[in-house]
């Protein structure tokens, strides 16, 4: 395997000094469930990794007040999830289940038990695979991504964070500190569904996040898709259709709009045609599940 140095910084200053060494390709390391297979297969060849798991606050899951960067202007508290929080911690967190149930469900779908005990939210975002399970959930939650570089922190809406396969809005030397999920009204419903070849050992062929948020006169809907475009995507056309009602004919129109937004490719996991069919099936199932819960 390609050799690389391993650094374990004691604080952020040390971490950024290590991450910004001139002429060296140094990347953050969290659970390493993507890094080790990628280095083994010689798809990533870092000179060094900086283990960021122990940095202060990176494993917190808590409610936070409105801040100057993320969660700005909110009158209620936002849910903060540190980048190094493990998938199992997120899936089992009562706070995440209460404030962002679609993300708890998505985290529960990642890999198998051992993977979920190591894999982190920040790692899923850093890898930015279009099939990453948590990514479409972050889009429908309209989460903010708090990132930190050597000299400043900034906040990037999740909707602008994923730029392409393995491409994010992170600048070199920046790390993800965590995400902040804006408060949602009581009665918000969420569903994450996915299909894969082998449960626990493969990425999604299609991943789907749906939310219905109580709004004046009905519900506001949000739909996010994974693994059917170069990045996870929202489907505003279907969301607009569902805002007019959720009778059978309207649901079918929304399913067709979701299908129209998908731009899948053939790859080792599935053909584009199979993915399109799965978009239809998963969207119908998720919408029916949510509609059945609407009082």
Ligand X SMILES: Cc1cc2nc3c(=O)[nH]c(=O)nc-3n(C[C@H](O)[C@H](O)[C@H](O)COP(=O)(O)OP(=O)(O)OC[C@H]3O[C@@H](n4cnc5c(N)ncnc54)[C@H](O)[C@@H]3O)c2cc1C
- In the complex, the residues that contact ligand X under the rule CB under 6 A are 27-35, 37, 52, 83, 110-111, 115, 118-120, 122-124, 126-127, 132-133, 170, 175-176, 201, 203
Our CB check for ligand X shows the closer of 170 and 279 to be 170
Least separation, in Å, of the C-beta of 87 and ligand X?
6
Least separation, in Å, of the C-beta of 156 and ligand X?
12
Least separation, in Å, of the C-beta of 240 and ligand X?
28
**How far apart, in whole angstroms, are the C-alpha atoms of residue 259 and residue 108?**
25
Using DSSP's 3-state secondary structure scheme, residue 201 falls into coil
Q: Which residues of 68-77 are buried (b: 16+ CB within 10 A; e: fewer)?
A: eebbeeeeeb
> Among 287, 116, 84, which Cα is nearest to 193's?
287
Check if the beta carbon of residue 136 is closer than 8 Å to that of residue 225: yes
Our CB check for ligand X shows the closer of 119 and 189 to be 119
The stretches of 198-271 forming alpha helices (DSSP H) are 236-242, 248-261
Please report which helix (H) or strand (E) contains residue 161, including its range: helix 158-161
**How far apart, in whole angstroms, are the C-alpha atoms of residue 228 and residue 136?**
11
What secondary structure, in 3-state letters, does 31-91 show?
CCCCHHHHHHCCCCCCCEEEECCCCCCCCCEEEECCCCCCCCCCCCCEEEEECCCEHHHHH
Our CB check for ligand X shows the closer of 93 and 120 to be 120
Our CB check for ligand X shows the closer of 69 and 115 to be 115
Least separation, in Å, of the C-beta of 129 and ligand X?
6
Our CB check for ligand X shows the closer of 36 and 291 to be 36
Least separation, in Å, of the C-beta of 131 and ligand X?
6
> Among 140, 183, 189, 185, which Cα is nearest to 295's?
189
User: 17: which 2 tokens?
Assistant: 């000094």
Least separation, in Å, of the C-beta of 52 and ligand X?
5
Please report which helix (H) or strand (E) contains residue 97, including its range: helix 94-99
Our CB check for ligand X shows the closer of 170 and 286 to be 170
Least separation, in Å, of the C-beta of 150 and ligand X?
14
Our CB check for ligand X shows the closer of 32 and 101 to be 32
């Amino acid at each position: 395997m390609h050799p690389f140095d391993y650094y374990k910084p004691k604080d952020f200053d040390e971490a950024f000094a290590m991450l910004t060494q001139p002429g060296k390709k140094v990347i953050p390391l969290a659970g390493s469930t993507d890094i080790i297979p990628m280095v083994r297969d010689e798809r990533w060849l870092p000179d060094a990794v900086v283990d960021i798991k122990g940095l202060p606050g990176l494993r917190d899951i808590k409610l936070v007040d409105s801040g100057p960067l993320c969660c700005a202007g909110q009158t209620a508290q936002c849910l903060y999830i540190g980048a190094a929080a493990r998938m199992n911690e997120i899936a089992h967190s009562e706070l995440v289940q209460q404030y962002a149930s679609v993300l708890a469900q998505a985290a529960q779908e990642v890999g198998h038990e051992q993977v979920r005990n190591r894999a982190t939210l920040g790692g899923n975002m850093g890898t930015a695979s279009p099939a990453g399970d948590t990514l479409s959930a972050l889009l429908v939650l309209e989460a903010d991504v708090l990132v930190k570089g050597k000299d400043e922190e900034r906040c990037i809406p999740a909707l602008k964070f994923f730029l392409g396969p393995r491409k994010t809005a992170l600048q070199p030397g920046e790390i993800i500190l965590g995400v902040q999920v804006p408060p949602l009204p009581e009665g918000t419903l969420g569903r994450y569904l996915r299909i894969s070849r082998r449960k626990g050992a493969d990425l999604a062929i299609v991943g789907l996040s749906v939310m219905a948020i109580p709004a004046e006169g009905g519900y506001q809907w949000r739909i996010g898709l994974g693994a059917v475009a170069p990045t996870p995507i929202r489907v505003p056309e279907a969301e607009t259709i569902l805002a007019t009602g959720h009778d059978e004919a309207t649901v079918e129109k929304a399913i067709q709009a979701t299908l129209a937004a998908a731009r899948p490719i053939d790859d080792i996991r599935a053909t584009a045609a199979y993915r399109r069919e799965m978009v239809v099936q998963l969207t119908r199932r998720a919408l029916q599940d949510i509609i059945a819960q609407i009082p």
